[in-house]
Amino acid sequence: MKCTDCNKRVATQFQPYTLCDGCWAERFSKQYINGKSIPFKKLFQENLEKRGLWIKDGESRDSWNERCALKGKKSKLLNGSKISESEGKETSTVGTG
Ligand SMILES: [Zn+2]
């Protein structure tokens, strides 16, 4: 069964309409922050922009994906254990201190 909004992707949501994940998120997914109901995708975009990770003018999707993946690999928050480039030994942010 196809999504009734985009009529392209397979529907994965059946209440209140037959929608794919993307179209369902477009219509209904919201976060309540600082007294406002903000569409999830807008909030996600703003968070990426704050981190300098939103797609740049003229940047290809592949290049953008690569940039985000690289940032994720370098992040201590997203990557609990990693090889430290400066020290050359394995470090961990889990259970230290
Ligand atoms: Zn759709």
The pLDDT tens digits for 24-80 are 988 999 999 889 999 988 898 999 999 999 999 999 999 999 999 999 888 887 776
What span, in angstroms and rounded, lies between the C-alpha atoms of 61 and 52?
15
How close is the Cα of 61 to the center of ligand 1, in Å?
20
The pTM for the full model equals: 0.56
Distance 2 CA to ligand 1 centre (A): 8
The three-point CA angle 18-23-29 to 5° equals 105
Rounded to the nearest angstrom, the distance between the alpha carbon of 14 and the centre of ligand 1 is 12
d(CA 5, CA 22): 10
Helix (H) or strand (E) holding 73: helix 61-74
Helix (H, G, I), strand (E, B) or coil at 77: coil
C-alpha–C-alpha distance, residues 78 and 68, integer Å: 12
- How many angstroms does the Cα of residue 79 sit away from the middle of ligand 1? 32
